[in-house]
Amino acid sequence: MSNVTLEHISVRKLSLDLPKSVEGSVQFPGIDSSSPAAGVSRGRYAPVPQNSVKEIAVGSKELAARLIHQNPSCYYEESDWISSHPEPTQDFEQFYHDRYRSTPTSQKSAIYVQPIGSFGDSKVSPENYLKWLKDYCEAFYYGLMVKILDPVPVSQTACAFRVNEYTHNLQIHAGDLLQFLKKRKPRDAFCIVGITMIDLYPKESWNFVFGQASLTEGMGIFSFARYDSDFYSASYKGRLKSGKKYPVADYSVFSGYYTPAITSLLLLRSCKTLTHEIGHIFGLRHCQWLQCVMQGSNHLEESDRRPLDLCPICLRKLQSAIRFNIAERYKALLRWMDDVGSGTEAEFGHAAESCSTVESMVMNIQWAEP
């Protein structure tokens, strides 16, 4: 199984100095990360594609002129992903001819989401939260069915776990969870992804990891624990007593363990992460063209800057894989926003407000029709 550790990573274990070749950076087979991308000019900290290259990347000059101005390029700060992890760009033709990209088939067309552990107590029920995630993912990957599997307790996964020596919160082993998902992957699955509110770690020498995946086997596991606004505060309720050891197979520690309240901000962050990482399973690499949910992120502030949806270049990549009607896809996204924004919990109106640009794209969707 070929595993990659996703971009939301931290190796901030004290005095830990890792080489660039460590599994912390996302590596895709067949890509020479040392080769500069053709037609790319150097910005202050990172390569910024020229407008002419962006137009070619869309794959159609006729569409490019109408699209490029709607999704302006981001300015890359020194601490951002693209500055820390230089990667070749991927235009539409490169994506289309990439032998490692995955395409759903009539026999394998469902996206399965496996919740692991508790999803907390808050005024928004876990059932509503999972339904919103499912519905958003189904609108984003329009034409594919998204199925939420019954939640399983941590004990059922038989995964290793530990208490982080710095943040003193519980963590579960990402690799063990991938093995668990591999055994549960349904026959009709295009991919299966596990989600959890418990922090992850990939191996003992690492502080934590937001997620890990096997792209070749269509699996991934992602944690939303650190999307809690209070995670890094001294008052975080998930902290356990420093230095306390727990028996290897005693999963009782997870009974009643704190999980963050479900808020509009956590929902937005969860939607971005889930669709971004499934995009990698399709073969979409990190976007360096325009503002896009497929842009990499090195830290939470950068992740929050990303929009919820794809840029025109990555949208064409996904459309070529699923063959959806672009206008109908945007209408489905709007329906999701209306549903979330009109819920009984007024705070979720923030989610709809954050996506208001999608409505204008639907109003001007004529360009997308053949």
Residues labelled catalytic: 277
**How many CA atoms within 13 Å lie on the side-chain side of 288?**
26
**Residue 196 contacts residue 224 (beta carbons within 8 Å):** yes
What tokens were used for 202?
């990939």
**Residue 231 contacts residue 260 (beta carbons within 8 Å):** yes
**Residue 302 contacts residue 81 (beta carbons within 8 Å):** yes
- Which positions ≥6 away from 265 have C-beta within 8 Å? 227, 229, 350
